[in-house]
Structure 1
Amino acid sequence: MKKFINNVDNFLNESLEGFGKAHKDIIDVKFDPNFISRRNKTKEGKVSLISGGGSGHEPMHGGFVGHGMLDAACPGFVFSAPTPDQMQAAAEHVDSGAGVLFIVKNYSGDIMNFQMGAEMYSGKNDSIITNDDVAVEDSTFTTGRRGVAATVLVEKIVGSSAENGSSLEECKKLGEKVNKNSGTMGVAFTSCTVPAAGKPTFDIGNDEMEFGVGIHGEPGRKREKIQPSKTIVSNMLEAILEDLKPQKNEKTLLFVNGMGGTPLTELYLAYHDACEILKSKNIEITRSLVGNYCTSLEMQGASITLLKCDEEILKNWDSPVHTAAMRWGM
């Protein structure tokens, strides 16, 4: 295992300390229990958004704490759900009187712990469950579809709505709409190595790829030989389009996400291929996002997310955001 690491037991806290120092103008990092919050207090009467999950997916979720997105994020150990006391502490810290909305990826541990945290918290709260992965219906640690990269889009769009004064009920309804209108498919070329394990999560040949992989290295639809980018992207989009069934000329947001170990040059090449394929199907791309936003440590590979957009979604996507990992319009 080759990683920047001092001690496995201190890995997460040391990383969080570095994150806090690097972005001290935007966020604060709290310990015992661990959570990340906005440096400036959430304004009174604003719905507070909290997300979280296992570490190793950075910049999701801590990198999205700030104006126009999250109010707090709860990082668990690598690929492990955060604990209920983290959610409770984060909620108590950021609730400004309008309630707390938890954004939770569909993994059994995340759902169980967020539900417990919500029950422990005495204030008004609700939750959104993301489940955008079209690869498989049931997988390791899930019942139903996995919550993956579209969680980033939910956090941005609902974050804007909350920033602009929407109620808890309105934020939840918008988040559910974004999730319902999103589809994601991922492909892995290599495994990743969890520091505590010290060895790759799964074995894969030098000429193989896992089609439909999960963000923790869970198995996908099939293992096959690596193919040209245009073929891989076409197969990914075919699975997404079969699920979403967008209308001709329907406006969409195209999100090409890196898994942590794929160069941007390759991600932009994949984006180019996706644009050509969608154009041939008369599907309009009106917004884009390319980069490493929902990662899996150093895994080589990528996911593609397509979001069907209406004016409400587009307005909230375009609105200003200022976080460690995403910022525009400020």
Structure 2
Amino acid sequence: MKKLINSVETVLTESLQGFAAAHADIVALDGECRFIRRARPAPGKVALISGGGSGHEPLHAGFVGRGMLDAACPGQIFTSPTPDQMAAAEAAVDGGAGLLLIVKNYEGDVMNFEMAAEMIGGPVMTVLTDDDVAVEASSYSTGRRGVAGTLLVEKIVGAAAEEGRDLAALKALGDRVNRRTRSMGVALTSCTVPAAGRPTFAIGADEIEMGVGIHGEPGRRRVALAPADAIVAELVDAILRDLGDVAGQDVLLFVNGFGGTPAAELYLVYHAAARLLAQHGIRIARSLVGSYVTSLDMAGCSITVSRLDDELVRLWDAPVHTAALRWGA
């Protein structure tokens, strides 16, 4: 294993300290390294909090800031943060209008966020993201996994929270975005968790994992490496079959890298996916390409398609200022 680390025990703390120092105008790190919060709190609005295991950067800490999250709780690599961490974050950013938790559908995350909500009390609601079409509810203990579509929920709901919408309205909006969003990924290589010191799974030099999870979980099937067009066609077909009839509608197309894939390849994937959507009569109204929901050093990518309407386009376009996403005034 070759990693730019000092020790397995300190990698997360040192990374968080570096992140907070590099973006001190946007975020602040809790003194006990339990959470990242906005450097300038936003009282009076519903506070948005997310989190999960580290190793997916910039998700979630990279999306803390104006127009998105108020706080993010990073657990150890691929391990849910503890309820104590989450409760501390909730107490730190509660501006009096309630708390909305945005939680990826993984058993540890769901359980610990529920426990944290009970600990702090007060008005708290949860949006559960489960956009991964690679697995059905019957084949995964808690149902579908929450993956790259989580970013879309955090951005759109974050914009609405900035406008002052109440807790119930934000919960309804987050659920709506999640229902309109589907994702699927492919891995060319495994990731390597520092504490393990070896690849999470073995894969041949000429093999790929279709439908891989963001922690290296198995996908739909192991197949031989094929040209990018064929790989993208399988991902897009699975997404569209699950999303339903979207011909003639506007969508957001998000091509996400898993951490070990060059931008040139991600844009090639976008090009292939855009052609396929056009063949189905689907209009791409908004796009995002880059490594935003990663899996450490895994080579591969995911494709996300989300059905848009005028309100969702406006909220997507609303100003955002975080370490990882910045646009608008």
TM-score class, shorter? over 0.9
Match runs of 1:303-314 below 5 Å = 303-314=302-313
Do the aligned partners of 1:106 and 1:142 also contact (CA within 8 Å) in 2?
no
Tell me the SS of whatever aligns to 1:8. Answer: coil
Tell me the SS of whatever aligns to 1:261. Answer: coil
Structure 2 equivalent of residue 21 of structure 1: 21
CA apart distance, 1:122: 2.2
Structure 2 equivalent of residue 69 of structure 1: 68
Do the aligned partners of 1:130 and 1:146 also contact (CA within 8 Å) in 2?
yes
Point out the more displaced range, 311-320 or 154-163. 311-320
Tell me the SS of whatever aligns to 2:321. Answer: strand
Structure 2 equivalent of residue 122 of structure 1: 121
Cα separation, partners in 2 of 1:3 and 1:33, compared to 1, 3 Å: closer
Across the aligned residues of Structure 1 and Structure 2, the Cα RMSD in angstroms comes to 1.1
Alignment pair present for 1:60 and 2:63:
no
Q: 1:236-265: per-residue Cα shift (whole Å, max 9, x none)?
A: 000000000133210000000000000000
CA apart distance, 1:63: 0.1
Q: Partner amino acid for 2:102?
A: I
Alignment pair present for 1:204 and 2:208:
no
CA distance in 2, matches of 1:295, 1:142: 22
CA apart distance, 1:142: 4.1
Match runs of 1:132-281 below 5 Å = 132-138=131-137, 142-281=141-280
Do the aligned partners of 2:246 and 2:307 also contact (CA within 8 Å) in 1?
no
Aligned pair count reads: 329
Q: 1:184-216: per-residue Cα shift (whole Å, max 9, x none)?
A: 000000000000000000000011000000000
Q: 1:7-59: per-residue Cα shift (whole Å, max 9, x none)?
A: 111110000000011000100011436100000011x3201000000000000
Point out the more displaced range, 233-242 or 136-145. 136-145
Q: 1:137-181: per-residue Cα shift (whole Å, max 9, x none)?
A: 149974110000000000000000000011000100000000000
CA apart distance, 1:310: 1.0
Structure 2 equivalent of residue 111 of structure 1: 110
Point out the more displaced range, 241-250 or 152-161. 241-250
TM-score normalised per structure 2: 0.98
Structure 2 equivalent of residue 48 of structure 1: 47
Q: 1:52-88: per-residue Cα shift (whole Å, max 9, x none)?
A: 0000000000000000000000000000000001111
Structure 2 equivalent of residue 35 of structure 1: 35
CA distance in 1, matches of 2:247, 2:305: 14
Do the aligned partners of 1:267 and 1:302 also contact (CA within 8 Å) in 2?
yes
Do the aligned partners of 1:139 and 1:146 also contact (CA within 8 Å) in 2?
no
Unpaired stretches in structure 1, ≥5 consecutive residues = none
Do the aligned partners of 2:211 and 2:218 also contact (CA within 8 Å) in 1?
yes
Structure 1 equivalent of residue 2 of structure 2: 2
CA distance in 1, matches of 2:55, 2:85: 17
Q: 1:107-149: per-residue Cα shift (whole Å, max 9, x none)?
A: 0000000000000012211101000000011499741100000
CA distance in 2, matches of 1:38, 1:247: 37
Cα separation, partners in 2 of 1:139 and 1:298, compared to 1, 3 Å: farther
Point out the more displaced range, 238-247 or 283-292. 238-247
Match runs of 1:85-100 below 5 Å = 85-100=84-99
Tell me the SS of whatever aligns to 2:74. Answer: strand
Alignment pair present for 1:78 and 2:77:
yes
CA distance in 1, matches of 2:70, 2:233: 37
TM-score normalised per structure 1: 0.98
